[in-house]
Structure 1
């Protein structure tokens, strides 16, 4: 049995440099198009794509990243997975230091949100939903030395 099978359930990933380049290109397409391209709404069979802006925990400067997500009630659910690399993504570290952020969604909507880690039964339920959208999820997550945080972005009312 090989650990680098091309089947989704095995957790096959392209090289890390390729993943990072793809996300940077995606973010650039969104920015260069003035927000016209790069985002999508979730469907029952696929996750959506959004543009999350957090405040840098050290710099205090806005930092933005593309994230995959699905909706759960009023909340937006994503994962702190950093292209499935070992380190925690900077946006998740920023969100832990300053939970208030903004989320740009397809259609031009900007939503002020507050982020939190899903725990216990909520995490298990949301992880199962991700598995429905991505059958390689467990294989990808197994590559990380720590548990991948499931992050809920709840709408702010301020």
Structure 2
């Protein structure tokens, strides 16, 4: 299996720069630029805190609108490890997301299981087909994360 690049590699530095650019454009244009991914898949900005660093982070993620819930897929990790944003998010009781148009929502995460996961996975793959291909060459089950509305308190 291919080894994931080290977090300090040029690849990850480029990833961080692209994330900053996407976030800037998303906010500046209220999601008109940076609010969708290749093929038109909608993007939200997920706010989370690094478990080890304690630093605030933002991750642009493709989402499915399952009103009033939002759904994201933890696909961009290593072959056998979930992405850092997933671990950060699951360690939090609640956080905030930004949607195109400037809407902000307070949400709490949970992982979908069973029939719900199957239904939401199919919707995510319909929006962004590369998820299905990615699932065939990773050793892990890709989590489907439901972002439920959280109380404002």
What TM-score does the superposition give when structure 2 sets the normalisation length? 0.76
Name the counterpart of 2:78. 85
Cα-to-partner distance string for 1:49-90 (whole Å, 9 max, x where unaligned): 1110112222332111110001012111110111x6323111
Matched, 1:39 2:35: yes
Q: 1:122 to 1:110 in 2, by over 3 A?
A: same
CA distance in 2, matches of 1:123, 1:46: 23
Aligned residues of 2:23 and 2:60 also touching (Cα < 8 A)? no
Q: Segments of 4+ in structure 1 off by > 3 A?
A: 17-24, 32-35
Name the counterpart of 1:25. 18
What TM-score does the superposition give when structure 1 sets the normalisation length? 0.74
Structure 1 residue 139: deviation in Å?
A: 1.9
Matched, 1:118 2:127: no
Gaps of 5+ in 1: 1-16
Tell me how large the CA RMSD over aligned residues is. 2.6
Matched, 1:73 2:67: yes
Matched positions, count: 138
Aligned residues of 2:73 and 2:124 also touching (Cα < 8 A)? no
Name the counterpart of 2:96. 102
